C-alpha cells in the first residue's frame, strides 16, 4: 500500500474511533411520565422510548429498561409525551400580511426566506412534519431541501410547488390589470395543459400535486362555490400524478367541486366548506380525506381590519367561513376520514394547534382530533410507520406537554418539548 493511502486509512480510522464519533453512536432514552398511544387511545405511565440513529428502537415500561452508562437520558417524567404533530395544509413561505395587494410586492427569494423563519416557528410549536400545499416559484422545494440539508431548522416537508388552477380562477393572479399579462405559476387549461403542468411540477421537485378544484376566498373574480376544473381535467391530473407516484390535494369549497374531485380520485379535499351529503357519500366510498381548515376563520375575521384585506375578500370570508362550520360538523358526524390541516399563513404560523379546539367544538373527541394530526395525516401523506406514532422503526419525532390532552386538548397549544429525528429542538423541562 502506498504511504499516502496508508496515511489516509489511518486518519479515517482515527476519526471513526474518536470521542466525537462515539458520542454520535450513543443511544438516547426518553423517560415519559405519561405516553399517549395515539392508535389505541390509551395513556401509559412510566414509559421509556429508546432512540438510536434518529429512530425509535423500542417503547416500553421504564422499569424494564436496562440503562447503559453511555445512555443520554431525557427526563420527561412530569410530562405527557406524544408523537410529533403533522399539519397537512400549510403555506410556510407566506404570512398574513401578504394577503391581497400587499402580496404583489413579495418576490420569490423573499418568500423563501420568510419560509425559513416560519419553518423554525412551526417546528418549535410541535409540528415536526408538514405538507406544504402551494408556493410560488418552487420556493417550498428550496425550503424543503435546505431543511433536509441541515442549513435551516424546520419540520419534515412534503411540498407541492405552484398549485394548479384554471385561467382567471383561484390560484391564478387576478390582482393586476390586463396590460401586465400576469399569470399564476400553476395555471393550466385543458387535458393536455394540466398533464404538462403536473409533469412540470414533478420535474422541479414536487412531492405531491395541489389543484384548485373550486374558487376560493382570498382571490378576486371567482366564486368559492363554483367548480373550476371539469371532471375530465381532474381525472387527467390525478391519473398522471398517481402514475408518477404523487398524491393529489384538492382545494375545494363548493359542493360540485368536492364531488368531482373525490370522483376523480384525489387523496384529500382541503377546506370542504359547502360539503353536502352527495360529496360526503362519494368521499366515504373512495376513502378521500377531508382536511378542514377551521381556526383560520376565527383569527382572520377578528384580525382582518389590521391586514388591509380588500373588501371583495372580506365579503367572501364573512359568507363562507361561518357556513363552513355547520357543514364540516355534519361531515364529522357522518364519518368521513379526517386529516388535520390549518392553512397557516392566513393566520400566523405557530398557532397551528389552535385547530384542535375547533375540531372538538364541531364534534370530534379530543382523541379523534389528535389522531387526525398523527396517524391519519401519516396515512394521508403516505408516511405511515415513519411519523405519527411512537413505535419501533418510526423517526424519533416526539413532543411533550403538561397535563392530559385527552382532557383538555388546548394543552397542545403549549408544547414544552420538541424532538425531531432524535435531536432535541426545544426543552423547557430541562431548564
pLDDT in tens, 182-203: 888 999 999 999 999 999 999 9
CA distances from 220 to 108, 168, 172, 181, 273 (A): 21, 9, 9, 15, 18
The pair phi, psi for residue 271, each rounded to 5°, is 85, -75
Indicate if the pLDDT at residue 210 is higher than 50.
yes
Res 9: pLDDT: 44
Instruction: Name the helix (H) or strand (E) containing 99.
Output: none
Task: Find the Cα–Cα–Cα–Cα dihedral 383, 384, 388, 391, rounded to 10°.
Answer: -130
pLDDT at position 189, please?
Answer: 98
Residue 210: active-site member: yes
Query: In angstroms, rounded to a whole number, what is the distance separating the alpha carbons of residues 270 and 133?
Result: 10
Quick one: what percent of the chain has pLDDT higher than 90?
Answer: 83
- Are 254 and 226 in contact by the 8 Å Cβ rule? The answer is yes
DSSP type of residue 221: S
Of the candidates 210, 235, 416, 426, the residue annotated as catalytic is 210
More confident site: 303 or 202: 202
Average confidence (pLDDT) over 73-93: 98
pLDDT band (50, 70, 90) for residue 125: very high
Average per-residue pLDDT for the chain: 93
Read out DSSP for 135-172?
Answer: -GGGHHHHHHHHHHTTSS---EEEE--SPBB-TTSBTB
Cell of 151: 442549513
Q: What is the pLDDT of residue 431?
A: 66
The residue-averaged pLDDT of 288-310 equals: 91
Q: Residue 2 pLDDT > 70, yes or no?
A: no
Q: Would the pLDDT of 7 be above 90?
A: no
Please report the pLDDT score of residue 117 as a whole number: 98
Residue 177's pLDDT band, with cuts at 50, 70 and 90, is confident
pLDDT category of residue 387 using cuts at 50, 70 and 90: very high
Taking the alpha carbons at both ends of the chain, their separation in whole angstroms is 53
d(CA 247, CA 300): 29
Are 135 and 181 within 8 A, CB to CB?
Answer: no
Whether residue 427 is predicted with pLDDT greater than 60 in this model: the reply is yes
Model confidence at 25, pLDDT cuts 50, 70, 90, reads: low
Q: CA-to-CA distance for 410 and 404, rounded, in angstroms?
A: 10
* CA distance linking residue 244 with residue 202, whole number of Å: 8
**Pairing relationship of beta strands 417-420 and 423-427 according to DSSP bridges:** antiparallel
**Is the pLDDT confidence value at 283 over 50?**
yes
The lowest-confidence range among 114-118, 178-182, 257-261, 331-335 is 178-182
For residues 36-55, give the mean pLDDT.
Answer: 98
Mean of the pLDDT values across residues 215-223? 92
Q: Is 56 helix (H, G, I), strand (E, B) or coil?
A: strand
CA dist 255 and 274 (Å) reads 5
Residue 298's pLDDT is what? 93
Residue 343 a catalytic site member = yes
If you average pLDDT over residues 114-129, what whole number do you get?
Answer: 98
Residue of 95, 343, 377, 397 with catalytic role? 343
Task: Say how far apart CA 170 and CA 176 lie, in whole Å.
Answer: 14
pLDDT of residue 100: 81
Amino acid at each position: 500500500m502506498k504511504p499516502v493511502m496508508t496515511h489516509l486509512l489511518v486518519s479515517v480510522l482515527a476519526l471513526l474511533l474518536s470521542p466525537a464519533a462515539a458520542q454520535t453512536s450513543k443511544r438516547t432514552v426518553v423517560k415519559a411520565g405519561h405516553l399517549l398511544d395515539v392508535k389505541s387511545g390509551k395513556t401509559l405511565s412510566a414509559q421509556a422510548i429508546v432512540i438510536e440513529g434518529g429512530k425509535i428502537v423500542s417503547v416500553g415500561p421504564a422499569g424494564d429498561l436496562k440503562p447503559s452508562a453511555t445512555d443520554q437520558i431525557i427526563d420527561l417524567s412530569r410530562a405527557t409525551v406524544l408523537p410529533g404533530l403533522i399539519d397537512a395544509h400549510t403555506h410556510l413561505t407566506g404570512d398574513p400580511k401578504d394577503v391581497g395587494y400587499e402580496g404583489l410586492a413579495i418576490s420569490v427569494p423573499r418568500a423563501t426566506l420568510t419560509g425559513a423563519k416560519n419553518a423554525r416557528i412551526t417546528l418549535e410549536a410541535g409540528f415536526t412534519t408538514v405538507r406544504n400545499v402551494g408556493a410560488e416559484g418552487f420556493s417550498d422545494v428550496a425550503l424543503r431541501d435546505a431543511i433536509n440539508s441541515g442549513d435551516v431548522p424546520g419540520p419534515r416537508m412534503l411540498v407541492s410547488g405552484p398549485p394548479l388552477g384554471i385561467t382567471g380562477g383561484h390560484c391564478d393572479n387576478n390582482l393586476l390589470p390586463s396590460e401586465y399579462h400576469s399569470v399564476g405559476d400553476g395555471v393550466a387549461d385543458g387535458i393536455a395543459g394540466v398533464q404538462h403542468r403536473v409533469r412540470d411540477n414533478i420535474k422541479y421537485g414536487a412531492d405531491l400535486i395541489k389543484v384548485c378544484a373550486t374558487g376560493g376566498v382570498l382571490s378576486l373574480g371567482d366564486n368559492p362555490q363554483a367548480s373550476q376544473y371539469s371532471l375530465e381535467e381532474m381525472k387527467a391530473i390525478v391519473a398522471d400524478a398517481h402514475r408518477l407516484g404523487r398524491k393529489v390535494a384538492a382545494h375545494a369549497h363548493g359542493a360540485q367541486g368536492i364531488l368531482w374531485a373525490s370522483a376523480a380520485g384525489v387523496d384529500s379535499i382541503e377546506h370542504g366548506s359547502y360539503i353536502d351529503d352527495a360529496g360526503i357519500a362519494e368521499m366515504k366510498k373512495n376513502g378521500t380525506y377531508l382536511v378542514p381548515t377551521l381556526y383560520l376563520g376565527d383569527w382572520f375575521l377578528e384580525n382582518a381590519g389590521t391586514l388591509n384585506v380588500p373588501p371583495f375578500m372580506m365579503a367572501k370570508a364573512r359568507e363562507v367561513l361561518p357556513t363552513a362550520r355547520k357543514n364540516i360538523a355534519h361531515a364529522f358526524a357522518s364519518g368521513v376520514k379526517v386529516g388535520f390541516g390549518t392553512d397557516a399563513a392566513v393566520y400566523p404560523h405557530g398557532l397551528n394547534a389552535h385547530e384542535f379546539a375547533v375540531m372538538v367544538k364541531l364534534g370530534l373527541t379530543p382523541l379523534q382530533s389528535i389522531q387526525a394530526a398523527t396517524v391519519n395525516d401519516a396515512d394521508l401523506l403516505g408516511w405511515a410507520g415513519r411519523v405519527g406514532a411512537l413505535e419501533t422503526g418510526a423517526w424519533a419525532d416526539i413532543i411533550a406537554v403538561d397535563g392530559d390532552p385527552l382532557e383538555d386538548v388546548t394543552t397542545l397549544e403549549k408544547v414544552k418539548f420538541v424532538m425531531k429525528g432524535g435531536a432535541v429542538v426545544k426543552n423547557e423541562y430541562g431548564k
